[in-house]
Every structure is written in structure tokens, then in C-alpha cells.
Amino acid sequence: MSNLDASPAEQDCRAKHDPGPVAELYQARDVPLGGVRGVHVLRTLPQRVLPTVGAWCFLDHFGPHSAAMNVNPHPHIGLQTVTWPFEGEIRHRDTLGSDVVVRPRQLNLMTAGRGIAHSEFAVPGAPAGHGLQLWTALPAGHRTTDPHFEQHKTLPVYEHPGLRAIVFLGTLDTVTSPATTYSPILGADLTVNPGAEVTIPLTHYHEHALLLIDGDLTAADTDLQPGPLLYLGTHRSDLTLSSRTGAHAILLGGEPFHEDIVMWWNFVGRTHEEIEQARTDWEKHDQERFPDIAGHTVQERIPAPPLPGVRLKPRGRGH
Ligand code: MN
């Protein structure tokens, strides 16, 4: 999926450096993705005062949509895209020649590194699309790595009475996803049974956040509704979750990401010039950085929006 905003603003983001154990709700923004179908997503990352949770820098909750969500070829740099469907099937094609369908509870992980482009199309006849699109920011030592794509059809599960957690990225307790990571991180899909109260171990020097998808959930003395992101801060060695009717939720975490980043359109970089160069390379169809995707015409490429009239400035945590 893509940030299809026709005039994306610079993400102006500041946050406390190390907040300790907090419980802060961040409202989702309803973001139209354009087109005649009026498809929209609920975006909870980045926030102005919360640019990242660990290396997680982008979180879109899409659907359930009856209209097909088809996203034409568009580029990425400096990030990983994490596609995690709950319902529906998505065909992914990219500039490396990948052409795969991802199904619910399977992971598509695309590491953009110095540059990649991809398209994502709903599989005709499949159920309504519903799921998450996330990005992780690549740290300095890896952000210009060669692009690569991986799909994981089976993922490890952390089980505890009353709780089942699919670990799709990183590590929860002793359970580690096989997916490639570039910073200490956690992404887990939680199913909490009706009437359950469960305590899960967390890495205390990481920060965490929780997004309720369905049902009811109480965590850190907060009754969650589907929609907002509950930011839990740092210095928690465990988290107790309870639910009356059962819950489906997403737990994100990771080592706080201390690098200042520039996020604009579908790019994560460090400087204005770097973003401008990526935009230029996409617009001039640079075949070395962003080759054509088999099965797509040049006309199907999503054009980059104009850069804002001011220089993009790096933003980080708590400066
Ligand atoms: Mn994308």
C-alpha cells in the first residue's frame, strides 16, 4: 500500500525522549486514499508528538472494504513495508520480479533499502479487504541495503492461557518471527479470549503501543475502543490485558528509534536532498533504482506529488 495523499505534508513530529510507563491515546486520522471509490484508511502513526514506536513509523488500518483496493506501482526508500491482512487476499508485484498473493495471517515484508517499487491489488472474488499496512524505518547502517522481498506463510505463536499471539515481526518473550529485522522490534497479532485476564512479558527498555481491532480490551487502566492507538511508553516489564467479550488487537514495540528521519510521501530518509533525489529518480523512470514492474505499463505508475515549497527537515524524538 501507498501513501496516496495528493499533497502530503511534511510529518512534523516531536516526542519525549524516554517517557517511562505512560498510557496515552492517539486518535486515528481518517485519510482518503483518493480515486472514485472513496477508499480511506485509519492512520495512527506517525503522530506529531509520536513519530515512531520503536522503528515503527507508519500504521494504517484499512477496511473492511467491499471496494477493491488496488494500488498501482509506486516507490519506497529507507523503510520496510509490512502487510498483514485479516481478511481478503492481496497480489503483490515488485521491481525484483516478485509476484505473490498474501492471505490472512501471512506476512509480506518488503525491505526497500536504497529503492524498490511495487503494486498491490485485491484478488478478484476474495472477501473484503481488511488489515494493516505498517512501515519500519531502517536504521543508518542498513537504510541503503539492497532491496528484497520475503513472504512468511507460517509464523510462530506465543501461547498463554486466554491469549494467542502470532509474532509476525521481532520477538515476544522467547518467540521470534523468522522475518528479517534491522532493529530490536516487536509486532504481534493478539487474540484474547472472552473473560480472560492475561499478563504478557515485555522488554522493559523498549517502548510499546496497542491497537484494538475488534472487541473490548482493557490495558494499563485504559478501556480501549477500536480506532485510537494506546501508547504505553517505556519501562514496562509486563502488560496485563483483560477482555469481557474477547478481543483482536495488535501489539507493537521496539527499542526507541533515536535517529532523526525525514518522512515524505513513500520515502524515509535523512535529508531534503535525499528525498528530492528519490523523487527525481522515480519521476525520470530511473531503471537502475526503480525498474519497471512486469505486467504494469509505464502509464500505471503513480506520479510523485510536488515537494512542498519549504525544505524538508529531519524530525526526531525529544530534541
Ligand atoms: Mn507501498
Distance 72 CA to ligand 1 centre (A): 9
Residue ranges and CATH numbers for the domains of the chain are: 11-254 (2.60.120.10)
Q: Which of 257, 258, 253 is nearest to 208 (CA)?
A: 253
User: Mind listing the pLDDT tens digit for each residue in 258-295?
Assistant: 999 999 999 999 999 999 999 999 999 999 999 999 99
Distance 101 CA to ligand 1 centre (A): 15
Q: What is the pTM of this model?
A: 0.93
**Where do we find the cell 497479532?**
189
**Mean of the pLDDT values across residues 290-306?**
95
pLDDT at 1 over 60: no
User: Mind listing the pLDDT tens digit for each residue in 153-167?
Assistant: 999 999 999 999 999
| pLDDT band per the 50, 70, 90 thresholds, residue 14 | very low
Distance 133 CA to ligand 1 centre (A): 9
Distance 135 CA to ligand 1 centre (A): 9
Residue 297 burial class via C-beta count within 10 angstroms: exposed 0-12, middle 13-18, buried 19 and up: exposed
Q: Which of 18, 17, 26 is nearest to 211 (CA)?
A: 26
| Pick from 63-72, 90-99, 118-127, 290-299: least confident | 63-72
Q: Which residues surround ligand 1, an ion (CB under 5 A)?
A: 2
Distance 4 CA to ligand 1 centre (A): 9
Residue 15: per-residue pLDDT? 47
Distance 218 CA to ligand 1 centre (A): 32
Q: Which of 104, 118, 128 is nearest to 73 (CA)?
A: 118
Distance 228 CA to ligand 1 centre (A): 23
Please report, rounded to a whole number, the percentage of residues in the chain having pLDDT higher than 90: 84
**Mean of the pLDDT values across residues 292-311?**
94
Distance 105 CA to ligand 1 centre (A): 19
What is the rounded distance in angstroms from the CA atom of residue 207 to the CA atom of residue 20?
8
Is the Cβ–Cβ distance between 52 and 68 less than 8 Å?
A: no
User: Mind listing the pLDDT tens digit for each residue in 178-218?
Assistant: 999 999 999 999 999 999 999 999 999 999 999 999 999 99
Residue 12: per-residue pLDDT? 43
Scored b (16 or more CB within 10 A) or e, 154-185 reads: ebbebeeebbebbbbbbbbbebebebebbbbb
Residue 128: per-residue pLDDT? 81
Is the Cβ–Cβ distance between 279 and 218 less than 8 Å?
A: no
Distance 127 CA to ligand 1 centre (A): 21
Distance 317 CA to ligand 1 centre (A): 25
The answer for 186, left when phi > 0, alpha when psi is -120 to 50, beta otherwise, is: beta
Task: Give the chain's mean pLDDT.
Answer: 92
